A and B are shown apart, each in its own frame.
Chain A
Amino acid sequence: MEKPSEQTSMKEKHSLRLQVPLGLLAILFAGVLIYGFVFYARDRIGREQPIPFSHRVHVNDKKISCFFCHAEAMSTARAGVPPLETCMLCHARIAVAYPPIEKLRKHYFENRPVVWTRIHILPEFVYFDHSLHVRRQVDCSYCHGNVAQMDRVVLQQKLEMGFCVGCHKATKTSHDCYICHR
């Protein structure tokens, strides 16, 4: 009696030995898939923002100029994310009951800034000046993609050195190191 049972238990033990790691692997694989999909989605659909601001609505539907909000792009190195008071120029009256706008107004009246997630990031050793590029008639979409058709902003062009230098070469602009690096 004892022997066979011992055998089966041995078998069970063997199968268990295989099953546990395999199961673990399967869970991990699923995890990788989900995780990968999240990143895929993030890159394709765009990252979630604290307030679902849609460039498509503002640029395409309402025909608001880029420089209405990103006014500094004409005069300084940074394009600048507008202060909340700029939003309030319209949303003091428009769509005040829409929940995301309610949230925005709450931020404004509580004097609490909105912390946006950054999409276009330059490494800290690169110095880019918006005003000079805008003055040279470089269209915003050349680097930032067609935001007029984006609800969430998607990184369409990675801001890497090859991209910068390619354009500088094509337009016979200087590609001296000190143009961008310092």
Chain B
Amino acid sequence: MTLSRRTFMKVAAIGGATLASDSGVKSVGKLVPSVNLPEPLQPAAWQTVATTCRECPAGCGMHIRQVNGRITKAEGNPGHPVNRGGLCPRGQSALQGIYDPDRVSGVRVRDESTGAFRQESWQKAMEEIGGRLAKANGRVAVLSRLETGSLAEIMTAFAQSFGSDRVLLYEAFAYDPLRKAHGLLLGRPIIPFYHLNEAAYILSFGADFLESWVSNVQFAWQFADMHELKDGRIGRFDYVGPRLSMTAANADRFFPVVPGRERDVALALLKVMHAEGMIRNGRDVIGPAVANIDVRSSGLPGQDLRAMAERLSTPKAVALAGPVGATGPAADQLAQVVTLLNIAAGSIGTIIDFSAPHALSHTAGEDQVASFLNTLTPEDVLIIHKTNPVYTRPGSRALIRKAGLVVCLGTMLDETASLADWFLPVHDDLESWGEYEPWAGVRSLMQPTMRPLGASMDAGDALIRLAASRQKVMRTGPNGAAPGSTRDWLEQRWRSQGRTGWEESLRKGGSWPAGDAAARQGAELRQAALSLKQSAGIEFRSDEAALWLWPSIMLFDGRTANRGWMQEAPEPVSTFAWDSWIDLHPKKAQVLGIEEGDMIELSSLENLSIQASARVTEEIAAEAVAISFGQGHTALGSLAANRGANAFLLLPAGMKVEGYFGRVTIKKTGRAEANAAGMSTTQQHERELLQWVNLDQARTMKPGPLTLPLEEGYTPERDLYPPHKHKGHRWAMTIDLQRCIGCGACAIACYAENNIAVVGKRRFREGRHLPWLRIVPYRRHDKDPLRIGWLPMLCQHCDSAPCEPVCPVFASVNNEEGLNAQIYNRCIGTRYCSNNCPYKVRRFNWLNIKWEQQLTWQLNPEVTVRVRGVMEKCTFCIQRIRSAQHRAKRENRKVKDGEVQPACVQSCPAKVFTFGDLLDPASKVSKITREHPRRYHVLEELNTKPAVTYLFRILQEEKSKT
């Protein structure tokens, strides 16, 4: 048969037309109702489940929002004493942990012939591992991340049932020096509770307490409270350290010093306080200790030292000792001196409270970790639970390999799991039962927030079953019960301790003392033989510098590195993301001929080296280089692996080095790669976007003129368009720049709530990422380059919005409640609106972004997922406004002030934002907008009449002595 080309085309056209002429209904039409609906659930209605965040040892309370059995959003639990409703970026990224596309769902075993992993069944795993355990003759060791309560008990009981007592709770950041110093000087080797909100003066020696140090969300709200202008009084914060970190940038004064010389400053301060008779306690110990100290060698001008000493001697002053992640003599000495400073300042027992030790006090110290790892032998069965020592302690690789059988319990195939003989997938923290006691007395519960996604098992259940497979019975106590699961263990432990209200506690998130009931506890100073030495002038060759390693608020010790939100979130000071970089002072860079973006190599004295691109900046001490922990994974997942450099590789073995992390030599590699910066500029270019006011002025300030985004803001001479009439509400926001610490939690909350896509490094660098809310770290001005303030910049919902008149299709319109609405299905993507927006808050979708499985489950069903060619921007969380309005309507009442909380407002640890109705004169937002003395609009002169009102950041300048 021959078929002419012409006929073929005809036939094909008709056939095609037939196939295409479906009735126009999309094929998404399936409805799958449940068979049995759990009693309190309603389909499509939001549920909130209280649990505890385990993304770091801080243990904040979380509320997980769930709809139709899927969890979509992690928020802070407002009733929880640690975080009081705020949640840091890491905690919010827990959702991307549970839905991680690289998460392992089945049991893996190393195939002896090929050396690669293969699938295996749980039953077989239990049999084989159980068999090895039975033959181990007590050579069983358990290595876990920090756990308290039931799971810690289960692990101990597990080891005991096989005749072993080797259980090690390992954290990469264990604050060993601080605990040792407290033990040596005060007889309490713990991390005490800090009441920073009551402090009048905080002096930090390299302790980044707003990012990573001990309990960052708690310290964030505490710091914001103490650093707020109240009744003419305000707290002060100074920072002594090598790098202008996010915490340092929040200080009223930042003193850059070479790593290791913080100690000299602290010693000099102690000497000054002693010499001037400013010491409250411990004179007899401090006197001899500082006898040989030379104040001049601290490197700081005498008047600055004196001013700091004076502030420290006022009531309610506190000193904090960093750095995070360092152990060794230098860190020990710093911790001792800082403890002495606190004793001298009288803050022990007031600001520093020894009645409630932090859970971190139970982590293994450096010596314990070393001896645990060094005693592993081929007879040992090593169980590793949710910790990654091979990454955070590269020297442990060979030691862990020595164990005869390595069993990893985790969710991801990280560096440690890749070494294991067995990998047992356990529940994610959001799928597990458990408890965690961040501070003694604060007993926080964990409960499953959704059904487990894969064939995983609860970690505690796995251990109980492993023991049971060998007829070992694990008991809660000497005569205790033998619960068959973690959940039962938890509940029985809870009830046996005489605690009532199990259900009530589950609903609330745990149990803790109401208010500040517990009496503060101090500790007695002991006579200790101290040998405090100054660092005696460290000298560096021209290609050498002191190393400074720091954990960022996004990546911490690297455990969150496979999460798109954490990789794409700009680091708060540099705005860099998706990679590692090395901070280098321009002087050093000039000597070595290094330019911004050059790949440079840092080699330690032990000849270990890493490479990353240079960030040439004055925000680091001249003789120091800094790189953050967290990147440079070799495993863990597709986003984390082979990205950046692993700074842990440079950690000196045994830490017996000068400074905290030793010295490194810097070498140019000849290659260059531009850093991926999240903001095109952090300079204000004299536009005064972020405004500062001196403290003296702030005290006597009167509200400046402001054109409100209301009908009353209309002036015929200045306005081209008639005023908008608002129906019922006029939503507005205020942002207190003085409280903002720059952590970026709000931006991550926005990503989670509004289905914002993660675009990847290349497009991030091209400026094509899609944050609706960006936190710009503006430098104050050229003459004050080390002073940073953060400007949360989101759609200002202007009343005279420049984006609206330029839209040819009315996709950008003013809503009757004053919102500037972007209607995606109208938008044709001309981008005129973005060009005309003076705040540059509109984001264009250049591509269709593919959402990996299971990350699609995180998508908020109440927000449209945007497609290519559409402009998007902040909506003031219209879905939350609507849900509050609908709730109010169903209950026949009005929306209450504070009932609507956009995602950014909810998540902010420092409570920077206020949101509400400007038409309601009694609302908080109305009061602040109309009456607050420090109010201003960004770019007020353009007469856009923004609905977002900012409050000046306060500048505490040194008082010049006249």
Contacts and interface: CB of A to CB of B under 8 A. Distances in A.
Interface string B3-39: 1000100110011001001110110111111111100
Given A78-B44, A132-B889, A182-B879, A20 B37 contact: no
B494 interface: no
B889 A135 contact: yes
Given A21-B11, A182-B864, A76 B33 contact: no
Contacts of A21: 3, 7, 11
A127 interface: yes
Interface stretch (A91-99, A112-120, A162-170): A112-120
Interface in A162-182: 174, 176-178, 181-182
B824 interface: yes
A113 B29 contact: no
A111 interface: yes
B30 A76 contact: no
Interface stretch (B58-66, B815-823, B828-836): B815-823
B121 interface: no
B31 A121 contact: no
Contacts of B882: 127, 129, 178, 182
Given A28-B14, A75-B42, A17 B2 contact: yes
A81 B7 contact: no
Given A121-B28, A131-B890, A176-B816, A113 B878 contact: no
B501 interface: no
A102 interface: no
Contact of B35 (A39, A107, A118, A182): A107
A44 to B, nearest CB: 11
B43 interface: yes
Interface string A78-91: 10111111000000
A123 interface: yes
Contacts of B29: 117-119, 121
A32 B20 CA distance: 11
Interface string B441-464: 000000000000000000000000
B30 A177 contact: no
B864 A84 contact: no
A124 interface: yes
Contacts of B823: 177, 181
Contacts of A119: 29
B490 to A, nearest CB: 28
Interface string A130-141: 011001000000
Contacts of B819: 178
Contacts of A176: 815-817, 821
Given A124-B864, A182-B864, A182-B878, A174 B31 contact: no
Contacts of A85: 35-37
Interface in B873-892: 875, 878-879, 882, 886, 889-890
A113 B14 contact: no
B960 interface: no
Contacts of B45: 72, 75-76
B653 interface: no
Contacts, number: 139
B529 interface: no
Contacts of A42: 23
A89 to B, nearest CB: 12
B816 A118 contact: no
B18 A31 contact: yes
B44 A80 contact: yes
Contacts of A112: 35
A111 B826 CA distance: 43
A15 B865 CA distance: 57
A25 B7 CA distance: 10
Contacts of A118: 28-31
Nearest to B810: A177
A41 B30 CA distance: 20
Interface string B757-794: 00000000000000000000000000000000000000
Interface string B913-927: 000000000000000
B481 interface: no
B890 A135 contact: yes
B23 A39 contact: yes
Contacts of B14: 25, 28, 32
B825 interface: yes
Nearest to B17: A32
A39 B748 CA distance: 47
A24 interface: yes
B35 A84 contact: yes
Interface string A1-37: 0000000000000001100110011001001100110
A68 interface: no
B419 interface: no
A115 to B, nearest CB: 5
B11 to A, nearest CB: 6
- Could you say which of A17, A82, A84, A177 has the most chain B C-beta atoms within 10 Å of its C-beta? A177
A67 interface: no
Contacts of A80: 33, 42-44
A48 interface: no
Nearest to A39: B23
Contact of A77 (B7, B25, B32, B44): B44
Nearest to A174: B816
Contacts of A20: 1, 3
Given A21-B11, A124-B864, A131 B815 contact: no
B33 A84 contact: yes
A110 to B, nearest CB: 9
A61 B879 CA distance: 40
Nearest to B35: A84
Given A43-B23, A78-B44, A176-B816, A25 B11 contact: yes
Contacts of A39: 21-23
Nearest to A20: B1
Given A107-B35, A129-B886, A181-B824, A121 B42 contact: no
A112 B35 CA distance: 7
B862 interface: yes
A182 B43 contact: no
A135 B43 CA distance: 19
Contacts of A124: 864-865
Given A17-B2, A124-B865, A181-B824, A117 B44 contact: no
B300 to A, nearest CB: 55
Nearest to A129: B886
Interface in B711-741: 727
A110 B823 CA distance: 45
B878 A178 contact: yes
B42 A116 contact: no
B635 interface: no
A91 to B, nearest CB: 13
Given A43-B23, A115-B31, A115-B32, A83 B37 contact: yes
B942 interface: no
A114 B45 CA distance: 21
Nearest to A130: B44
B813 interface: yes
Contacts of A82: 33
A156 to B, nearest CB: 14
A48 B233 CA distance: 73
Contacts of B813: 177
* Top 8 A-B residue pairs of the complex, sorted by shortest distance between their CB atoms: A118-B29, A78-B44, A81-B33, A116-B31, A83-B37, A125-B864, A84-B35, A21-B7
6 contacts: A83-B33, A84-B34, A118-B28, A123-B26, A127-B882, A178-B819
Given A39-B21, A85-B37, A121-B26, 17 more contacts: A39-B22, A72-B44, A76-B43, A76-B44, A85-B36, A111-B35, A113-B33, A114-B32, A118-B29, A123-B26, A132-B890, A176-B815, A177-B821, A178-B819, A178-B821, A178-B882, A182-B878
Interface of B: 1-3, 7, 10-11, 14-15, 18, 21-23, 25-26, 28-37, 42-45, 727, 813, 815-817, 819, 821, 823-826, 862-865, 875, 878-879, 882, 886, 889-890
